[in-house]
Amino acid sequence: NAGVTQTPKFRVLKTGQSMTLLCAQDMNHEYMYWYRQDPGMGLRLIHYSVGEGTTAKGEVPDGYNVSRLKKQNFLLGLESAAPSQTSVYFCASRSQETQYFGPGTRLLVL
Amino acid sequence: EDQVTQSPEALRLQEGESSSLNCSYTVSGLRGLFWYRQDPGKGPEFLFTLYSAGEEKEKERLKATLTKKESFLHITAPKPEDSATYLCAVQPYGGATNKLIFGTGTLLAVQP
């Protein structure tokens, strides 16, 4: 099993550009999550999904949208990127009580 | 407000020098406390889950303990490969989403 995978690994955007981050898991987990990690701050929840076709807002959802069209995939979209969205983004999926994380996507918005 | 505080922010140890990392939490009701290890440029790797005060879990040189207000990650005779950032997270009661509240982590460096 590959576990949780994320693409791309690194991306540079200009302010106002859009992009989609892809998270995939092959463990048949229902719950999936998107976090961002910034220096000096703990991981913060952006959006999450409790199953295929469902999404919900987390702690810092502004400027992001998500979709869960297939159970194994959870997409995070930035419609108009801002420098404040420069961060490392982690996806996670949940088995019972434990969340398992992907390797991350490093995003730089200029 | 639910909150997690980890200390120290950074810790430097000599190989074989045992120590402990602290995770203090305030939460309306604790459903679970999680420890993760994060290597540079990688995602958090799950280590332990603790559910009730007095519970202990061990894995190689690591031992996690839990009280009603804090958790400790004890590192016995550490090796350089134990160098990483250790993250603590709590899951409060309420909701069905398994939301986690993370601390900012302790950066551990073990020198040979």
Beta bridge partners of A45: A35
CA distance B13 to B65: 21
pLDDT number for residue B23: 98
Mean pLDDT of all residues in chain B? Answer: 95
Average pLDDT (B42-69) is 96
**Nearest-CB residue to A50 (from B43, B46, B97):** B97
Per-residue confidence (pLDDT) for residue A1, from 0 to 100: 72
Q: Do B98 and A100 touch (CB under 8 A)?
A: no
DSSP-derived letter for residue B76 is -
What pLDDT was estimated at residue B96? 54
B44 to chain A, closest Cα gap in Å: 6
Number of H helices, E strands in chain B: 0, 11
CA distance linking residue A20 with residue A55, whole number of Å: 16
Tens of pLDDT, residue by residue over B3-54, are 999 999 999 999 999 999 999 999 888 999 999 999 999 999 999 999 999 9
Percentage of the residues of chain B whose pLDDT score is greater than 70: 96
C-alpha distance from A36 to closest chain B C-alpha (Å): 11
Predicted local distance difference test score (pLDDT) of residue A74: 98
pLDDT at B95: 62
What pLDDT was estimated at residue A97? Answer: 83
Q: Among the listed ranges A2-6, B15-19, B59-63, B76-80, which one has the minimum average pLDDT value?
A: A2-6
Residue of B92 and A64 predicted with greater confidence:
A64
Residues of A in contact with B44 (CB under 8 A): 43, 90, 101
Per-residue model confidence (pLDDT) at position B94: 74
Neighbours of B96 (CB within 10 A): 7
- B98:A4 CB<8 A: no
Beta pairing, strands A32-37 & A87-95? antiparallel
Q: What is the pLDDT of residue B87?
A: 98
Q: C-alpha distances in angstroms, A69 versus A20, A33, A46, B45?
A: 14, 14, 18, 27
Neighbours of A48 (CB within 10 A): 25
Structure confidence by residue, pLDDT tens digits, A26-82 = 999 999 999 999 998 989 999 999 999 999 999 999 999 999 999 999 999 999 999
Task: Tell me how many residue pairs between chain A and chain B have CB atoms under 8 A apart.
Answer: 54
The β-bridge partners of A100 are A93
